[in-house]
Amino acid sequence: MENTMKLKSKLLLALLATSSAAFAQTAPAAPESTLGYNVGVASEYRYRAIGQSRGEPALQGGVDYAHSNGFYAGAWGSTIKWIKDAGATDGSTELDLYGGYKFEAAGLAYDVGFLRYEYVGNKLKNVSGFTNANTNEAYAAVTAGPATVKYSYSLSDLFGNINSKGSSYLEASATFDLGNGYTLTPHAGRQAVKNNTIYSYTDVSLTAAKDLGDGLSASVSAISTNVKSAYTNAVNGYNGGKSIVVVGVKYSF
């Protein structure tokens, strides 16, 4: 009887071990990479607080790839009007191409990368006082808790400004989780346009956002700059640097 009990115990232990191994093998592993998409609309497209769509709605969308090793790449596009407003005959679409590397060290999160602004088919260089709008930037950011500081440096002329290579944008922001899907993000930035100081400015904004679930989110941003007339276009007199409230909706999937 004792031998029989020992045999049963050994069989039970073997079955348990086999079940545990099978469970471990079938547990889903974390994906090595992710691919996401987003589409949205904004009541006006503002970039670094300056109007890009003449106070009118803009359609936007993008794709993002991220690998578990920290490398990422993506593309994002939007309808724009500022290039035509400057007097060019073409240039109604902005396409941004970017890639970089994210990592953590000493309790801080870092992000370094490259960003190409492609203003598809733009003819801005044919307008007196401008050069090609396409721009290359390198950037670096550091995040501590909810706060992020980011520095961007232009490797080419910046957004069509002649001899502006070496321009920079320094910004600081913080995103606070208010619970129930709400976040609040204050932001301040300084755009320094090399050899074109009339286009340099400081901006501030406050954005409230809500996660509506199932990939849908909405936001409202109050935006202001110290720009007076430098970003008022000659075609229709719209001041792209005036204070404004922008509303946006985005769907991510």
**130 pairs with which residues across the strands?**
161
CA–CA distance, 218 with 176 (Å, rounded to integer)? 16
User: In the predicted model, is pLDDT for residue 15 greater than 60?
Assistant: no
Place 25 in a pLDDT band, splitting at 50, 70 and 90: low
10 vs 218: which has the higher pLDDT: 218
CB atoms within 10 A of CB 171: 18
User: In the predicted model, is pLDDT for residue 36 greater than 80?
Assistant: yes
Residue 5's pLDDT is 40
Place 19 in a pLDDT band, splitting at 50, 70 and 90: very low
| Tens of pLDDT, residues 157-184 | 999 999 999 999 999 999 999 999 999 9
| Mean pLDDT across 105-113 | 98
Give the chain's length: 253
What architecture is domain 33-252? Beta Barrel (2.40)
Angstrom CA distances, 7 to 17, 19, 20, 66, 182, stand at 15, 18, 20, 52, 60
| Tens of pLDDT, residues 181-195 | 999 999 999 999 999
Residue 89's pLDDT is 84
Place 143 in a pLDDT band, splitting at 50, 70 and 90: very high
Q: What is the mean pLDDT of the chain?
A: 91
User: In the predicted model, is pLDDT for residue 147 greater than 50?
Assistant: yes
